[in-house]
Structure 1
Amino acid sequence: DGPWITDVDGNRLLDLGSGIGVTTLGHTHPEVVAAAKAQLDLLSHTLFTVTPYENYVRLAERLGEHTPGSHAKKTFFVNSGAEAVENAVKIARAHTGRRVVAALDHAFHGRTNLTMAMNHRAAPYATGFGPLAADIQRVPNSYPFRDGLSGARAAARTIEYLEQRIGAADLAAIIAEPIQGEGGFVVPAPDYLTALQDWATEHGVVFIADEIQSGLGRTGTWFASELFGLVPDLVLTAKGIADGLPLAGITGRAEIMDSALPGGLGGTFSGNPVSIAAAHAVLDVLETGEPFAEAARIERALLTGLRELARDYASIGDIRGHGAMIAFELTEPGSTTPLAGLASKIAAAAAAQGILLLTAGSYSNVIRFLPSLAVTDAQIEVALGVIGDALAEYARA
């Protein structure tokens, strides 16, 4: 219920992970539940490509209205974020006739055969599961806390890798999370993403924004791309799109989306009517504007509290994020040397006190907050107090 989970013993837990960013509006949101229940009484499943239905079309239209840019768009629905990534790659390759896909350092795009080759970390996502998919290249990202580069300089470094190690003639797509999720909520320096997009457009490369974790109100905007002035060619949504039901979408420029042959894109459960109905309810709530204000409130509460903790504990090396997508990175005081063990200790201590936290980061040294927008400032204050107690026990001041 809302930000709460009750376990089999009756313990009430404050969930600040939301199923890794899925239940953005809260667990069992009444409007979402009502929409899904009503749809079950009408139609539980039909394959859209055989017997299409209006709600699918209308949801595609609504995503086209809210994703960045005023260009003509089309949308295709699938079941999960990784499936959205895979189909975006297929579409980009079909459109360009090229084969190579560039992913950024510290990225995470899924656990399927293709997406695990796109992730920054091999363990645990790819270890023992090879061989990996070919024609995936990873290039440097913008990580201001660690590289100290401006957006322009970081983009120049990335572009140099793209040009020298891949070559634009073979590059089908660049895929980027505007704010990296599993990588530790890495927020790129200003102008980094737009510089990459400009280069991609100049060279006929499809720019894909993986907004699976950062989209649909999570960062206080419809999509995190808006925070950076980014207008991607393809935008990927999942997680919060149906507030707990399986659904994902690929929304993109119509001329790019039309590149696949008829029947080339599809799936038995892609765009399931019940999930589609839930997604309409989510968009109804988002269109009121209230969730964006709640995300901004949560950002203020978390940043204020974390900065106070950072004054007492030098192990908090960096605090970053937007909206209800905030994290802090733990390092040796005065350095960028990761403190991976401390993050897991804090998460364990918080769980023992009924606070569910998520760790993240390529070095496993980040605590990330992905609360539902139903969490209150008072609940955040309690959670920060528990984190402070853990820091007092395990960290050096």
Structure 2
Amino acid sequence: MNTKHISIFSLLLSSMLLWQCEPNVDSFTPTSGEADFTKFIAIGDSYTAGYTDGALGQRGQMESFAYILSEQLAYVGSESFNQPLVESEGSVGTTVLAPNQNNGYFQLQIANGDLSPVPTMGDMSIFTEQVYSTENQNFGVPGAKAIHLGYGGYAQANPFFYRFASNLNTTVLTDALAAQPTFISLWIGNNDALAYALAGGKEGNDAITDTDVFGAVYSQIIQGLTANAKVVVGNIPNVDDIPFFNYILSDGHIPFVIEDEGTIRQLQEGEKVLLTASTLLGMGYGQSLEMPLPGTYVLDAEELAEIDEAITSYNTTIKSIADNNESIALVDMNSLLKELGKGLIIDGNVYSGEFVTGGIFSLDGIHVTGRGSAIIANTFIEAINKQFGAKIPMANINDYKTVEFP
């Protein structure tokens, strides 16, 4: 055999060996399975709307879990996802900074020698926008509870819904079903307990929704949504897994002095100090009998038990309804947030529930970053694929933003 033939033989042998060493990767072809994703709409609260860093703005709207989910559903037939986008370049939240002035996005800035989230000035004109459109597909309303979705006149009570409501007397569900969806995401119920927790256990409008009322309302919502569409629903995370309630005491118990229903006592182990107490603690509150930390900045053991009992009941209701309806896929958001608290490695990056540095939660300690939204969207996709036999590709988490450092 001459040199030329030896060279050709070696080349063929090398090619065969390389071919034999190639991994056997199954091809992935997106399919819709048993669901019709042609007209996808999302219903929910601030998470669905894209609220992040303490405010609603176009940046967050374009990285909400609902929007990211819609992008992946486009691979299996979803034709569009129109949102009631903020027209302003600014943002607006619910924290009052001054008379007639609410906050905008929080930003990390140097304050008193430390890097801290600082609110920007919000654009109040966002509350007066009227961006109603029959093409809207995102019905996420910051602040909404399950009991609010069917409440006529809710647009008069909630400026975030006013922006895109068809009229002042409509309901969120009426406008949502008018879009004639074929597939729906529903993540509602967070605020039914969270509003009470954020108010430090304050009653009134922030009271925990009665569990029987929640069950009846949620059943009615599902009955209306599943009449002509399949639905993916998320359950309710516990406040124990949200940085807003864990950051100040993340390194252990500190016996702050607190005011509790007219009495002065020490904070007990296991009780929570809200993130909003940071300013008062920096001023010396909570460190002496003369300056106790007000009870509205603390969740005591009794309040925590009430919250836990309510969320457990809500999630039992949601699971029972989902288990008895083949048109529903259930997303266990409660378990996801517990896993995040332990830390996860996703696409080569480490994520956790740590405030600021964990990559999941935004600078308000409650809502998520763009990457947090992508993780949530992928969790929804896993549930949809499993329940309906679909093959929807996962979102690339690294394509989205996390906390921005100066």
TM-score (norm 2): 0.24
Q: Whose relative contact order is higher, 1 or 2, with alpha carbons under 8 Å and at least 6 apart? A: 1
> Which of 1 and 2 has greater Rg?
2
